Amino acid sequence: MNYSQDELSLKSLINDADSSPCESSLLHSYPASMPAFLASRLIKKYTTNDDCVFDPFCGTGVVLIEGLRLNRNCIGTDLQESVIRIITASINIPESNILWSVWGDIRKSAYSSISMFGERYEKSSLNSYEFLRPWFHWKTFEMIMAIHAQIIKIHCKKTQEIFLLLLAGSLISMSKRRERGIVHWGWVADNVIPKQDELVFVDSFKVFNDRLTKIISFVNSLDSCNLIEKSKNTLSMLQHNWLKCDDNLLNEIIKPVDLLLTSPPYPYSIDYSLALRLTNYLLGYDFNNFRKKEIGARYKRKRKNRSYDYLYELGISLKMASRFVKINGYVVLILPDPIDYPNVLDFDVEAWLGHLQAKLAGEWRLVDFAHRNCQHRRVINSNQKVKNEIVAVYQRKFNLS
């Protein structure tokens, strides 16, 4: 017997995983991205055509992109300006023949520049990318700069942005240390700048080509669709910090929504913004703008008041964001399981869900919740993967007081 999305239990929906890719996760490997299948199934279950879906911590836009595919209106906010660029580029990916043609020209010219200039090319790039350079073997860095030099010559700005973000999204995999073996974004967030003799040479051309191949395979697949037209009138995005709320600006962008679907930052969330360190360097953002945040991810994970800080910041953010949900609308949260964070979340599951319900603006009831087994990009203590999550569904019942 076949069951519709509405008839399936929440537990069945969130644990019967598939491997459906998403443009944004292919374009840039942002840490802690929600799986595309999970976003799609939850949107189908709790909304209908033309409903409005809102993700206040949108990351690279998995919820927004899946919502557009399903003919929903979508609104997203995020702390990082670069995230808005990634989402915009993700819904403007050109046809595969254009991508291959542009990459062929880039690769040919970049190879030539390396063979012509060699060490001189490397030195000439030092001043512009002094913060990026220490994270790579010098030969790898030379290749990155050669590719970058050709990308910024692309005349079509939309295509140039696609290739620039593809390169930025490949940087962590190009920065490899002997002692680690497999590189993850945790050590970048920790600002553990390696010594040059610790770094391993990585062929930047191959890494970039492999990532582009995955993008093209997706674009050519039956699951791919052109989102440009859909997004023109049905997608709104805003760079925003929920702890520094500008009501006037928010009220202009965010209209009443039917579903707030998000995976809010987990404990040790300083890692999420700092994981974009290399991307921000390449995209030319001022280092000093996020210098103050670099107290150190390690320090934040260990300090005594980390639990209070996390719960306070999460509570304020959820209260501010949830007030935009309509009466009888839903808030669906993908949450950390307290079992993974015993020193930060001193709750059993029932108390944890009750705590979050109390933080939502207005009157709510817990409709459903289920445990989800996962091997997510979120990490504990930089390299330990999250194994357990909770998906909680709340419904608004009354007006705000």
Return the exposure string of 38-56: e unless at least 16 CB atoms fall within 10 Å of the residue's CB, then b.
Answer: bbbbbbbbbbeeebbbbbb
Residue that finishes a domain, picked among 155, 185, 220: 220
- Higher-pLDDT residue of 63 and 306 is 63
What's the pLDDT at 153?
94
Which residue type occupies 187? W
What's the pLDDT at 116?
53
| pLDDT grade for 51, boundaries at 50, 70 and 90 | very high
Mean pLDDT estimate for the chain: 82
pLDDT tens figures, 325-381: 999 999 999 998 998 888 788 899 999 999 999 999 999 999 999 999 886 666 665
- Closest CA relative to residue 320, chosen from 260, 265, 361, 269: 361
Domain assignment present for residue 292? The answer is: no
Contact between residue 359 and residue 290 where contact means Cβ atoms under 8 Å apart: no
- Higher-pLDDT residue of 155 and 295 is 155
Q: Cα(319)–Cα(394) distance, rounded to whole angstroms?
A: 13
Q: What is the residue whose two structure tokens read 């579903």?
A: 259
How large is the C-alpha radius of gyration of the chain? 22
**How many folded domains does the chain comprise?**
2
Domain assignment present for residue 70? The answer is: yes
The phi, psi pair for 159, rounded to 5°, reads -65, -40
Domain assignment present for residue 130? The answer is: yes
Q: Cα(163)–Cα(151) distance, rounded to whole angstroms?
A: 7
What's the pLDDT at 215?
83
Which residue type occupies 168? A
Q: In terms of residue numbers, what domain contains 53?
A: 10-81+233-263+304-398
Same domain, 196 and 156: yes
Same domain, 241 and 334: yes
| pLDDT grade for 123, boundaries at 50, 70 and 90 | very low
Same domain, 238 and 350: yes
Say if residue 122's pLDDT is above 90. Answer: no
pLDDT tens figures, 75-121: 999 988 888 888 888 888 888 888 999 999 999 999 888 865 545 44
Q: Which of 47-51, 87-91, 279-283: highest mean pLDDT? A: 47-51
Percent of the chain with pLDDT over 70: 78
Same domain, 211 and 244: no
Q: Cα(113)–Cα(133) distance, rounded to whole angstroms?
A: 18
Same domain, 310 and 367: yes
Domain assignment present for residue 347? The answer is: yes
Same domain, 41 and 65: yes
Same domain, 255 and 370: yes
Say if residue 291's pLDDT is above 60. Answer: no
What's the pLDDT at 192?
75
Lowest mean pLDDT of 71-75, 128-132, 158-162, 302-306, name the range.
302-306
| pLDDT grade for 129, boundaries at 50, 70 and 90 | confident
Lowest mean pLDDT of 154-158, 222-226, 375-379, name the range.
222-226
Say if residue 222's pLDDT is above 80. Answer: no
Same domain, 71 and 156: no
